[in-house]
């Protein structure tokens, strides 16, 4: 059992007999009262997202999951295919279950497949991935004082902000948790 105050984005819990992924957590505390933990939970079987409020101090069951080392192979538009690196078995996960993760997947990306009852229910990405810039505006001279950046589109369709010195064709390292530029690769 895990206390709801310890819930974090990306955790998997069992709630009302179903497995949910925590999409968002907000903690609200009232003066002299108990806190309120507002969560957005995604049902892994139906894909439905629901808002659930918990009183602080409540406990939920952490889902029993197994993780298998795998490699991303390809997608056919409807499913993403992964190969277990120990058994060489292939697993498919529907594209709608990988809404955010798909922007970080290129062929041969190492991932952990999240298994429940021997069925794949999702993936866990590495902390960083290297992606190529396919579209960005040219450099602006003298625009380094602002310390900002310019928009860029990466090979997977991910849109992020990059520093002004990054050009089309550059390979960059991106944080998969925040979707932010880290450094040139």
Mean pLDDT across the stretch 135-162?
79
Q: What is the pLDDT of residues 8-29, one digit of tens each?
A: 887 889 999 888 888 889 988 7
| HSE-CB of 59 using CA atoms within 13 angstroms | 4
Mean pLDDT across the stretch 144-169?
84
The band of 146, judged by pLDDT with boundaries at 50, 70 and 90, is low
Which residues belong to CATH 2.30.30.30 in the chain?
Answer: 2-62
The band of 72, judged by pLDDT with boundaries at 50, 70 and 90, is very high
- What lies within 8 Å, CB to CB, of 129 at 6+ separation is 104, 106, 109, 173, 174, 176
The band of 145, judged by pLDDT with boundaries at 50, 70 and 90, is low
> What is the CATH code of the structural domain delimited by 66-124?
2.40.50.140
Say whether pLDDT at 82 is over 80.
yes
Q: What pLDDT is stored for residue 90 in this prediction?
A: 93
> What is the CATH code of the structural domain delimited by 128-184?
2.40.50.140
Which residues belong to CATH 2.40.50.140 in the chain?
Answer: 66-124, 128-184
The band of 147, judged by pLDDT with boundaries at 50, 70 and 90, is low
Better pLDDT: 91 or 47: 91
Q: 67 near 120, Cβ under 8 Å?
A: no
State the Rg of the chain over Cα. 20
Its sign, for the CA torsion 54, 58, 63, 67, is positive
Q: What is the pLDDT of residues 92-142, one digit of tens each?
A: 988 888 878 889 999 999 999 988 888 888 888 898 999 999 998 876 655
Say whether pLDDT at 37 is over 80.
yes
Q: What is the pTM of this model?
A: 0.73
What average pLDDT does the chain have?
A: 86
Mean pLDDT across the stretch 28-39?
79
- Has domain 2-62 been given CATH number 2.30.30.30? yes
The band of 89, judged by pLDDT with boundaries at 50, 70 and 90, is very high
Mean pLDDT across the stretch 162-170?
89
């Amino acid at each position: 059992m895990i206390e709801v105050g310890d819930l974090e984005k990306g955790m998997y819990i069992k709630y009302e007999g179903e497995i949910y992924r925590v999409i968002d957590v907000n903690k609200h505390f009232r003066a002299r009262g108990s806190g309120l933990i507002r969560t957005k939970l995604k049902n892994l079987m139906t894909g439905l997202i629901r808002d659930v409020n918990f009183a602080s101090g409540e406990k939920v069951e952490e889902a029993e999951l197994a993780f298998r080392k795998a490699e991303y192979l390809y997608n056919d538009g409807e499913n993403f295919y992964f190969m277990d690196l120990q058994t060489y078995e292939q697993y498919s996960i529907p594209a709608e279950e990988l809404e955010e993760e798909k922007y970080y997947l290129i062929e041969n990306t190492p991932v952990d497949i999240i298994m429940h009852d021997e069925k794949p229910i999702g993936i866990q990405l590495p902390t960083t991935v290297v992606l190529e810039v396919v579209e960005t505006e040219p450099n602006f001279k003298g625009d380094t004082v602002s310390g900002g950046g310019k928009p860029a589109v990466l090979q997977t369709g991910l849109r992020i902000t990059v520093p002004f010195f990054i050009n089309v064709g550059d390979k960059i390292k991106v944080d998969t948790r925040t979707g932010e530029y880290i450094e040139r690769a």
